[in-house]
Amino acid sequence: MRLLLLEDDPDLRGPYARRLRSEGHAVDEVDTLEGARTAMMDVDYDCLVFDRLVPDGDSLELLAEMWEAGQRPPILLLSALGDGDERVRGLQAGAADYVPKPVRLDELALRVSNLMVRSTGGSAAPVRLGRVTIDRSRHHVEIEGRTVHLTRQQYSVLDHLVVNRHRLVTTEELLEHCWDCNRHLFANPLHSQITRLRSTFRGHIVFASVRGQGYEMRVISKDDGADDEIASSEAS
- pLDDT score, position 71: 86
Percent of the residues in the chain that have a pLDDT greater than 70, as a whole number: 89
- pLDDT score, position 147: 96
**Dihedral angle over CA of 66, 70, 76, 79, nearest 10:** 30
Q: Name which of 57, 9, 17, 16 is nearest 37 in CA terms.
A: 57
Q: How many other C-beta atoms lie within 10 A of the C-beta of residue 42?
A: 10
- pLDDT score, position 231: 40
**Could you give the C-alpha distances from 4 to 25, 27, 54, 62, 167, in angstroms and in order?**
10, 6, 15, 13, 26
Is residue 51 within 8 A of residue 7, CB to CB? The reply is yes
- pLDDT score, position 24: 83
For the cut 50, the answer to whether the pLDDT of residue 59 exceeds it is yes
pTM: 0.76
Q: Name which of 235, 163, 158, 164 is nearest 204 in CA terms.
A: 158
For the cut 90, the answer to whether the pLDDT of residue 195 exceeds it is yes
How far apart, in whole angstroms, are the C-alpha atoms of residue 95 and residue 47? 11
- pLDDT score, position 232: 43
Domain 127-235: which topology?
A: Arc Repressor Mutant, subunit A (1.10.10)
Query: Can you identify the CATH homologous superfamily of domain 2-119?
Result: Response regulator (3.40.50.2300)
Residue ranges, CATH 3.40.50.2300, the chain: 2-119
Q: What is the mean pLDDT of residues 128-151?
A: 93
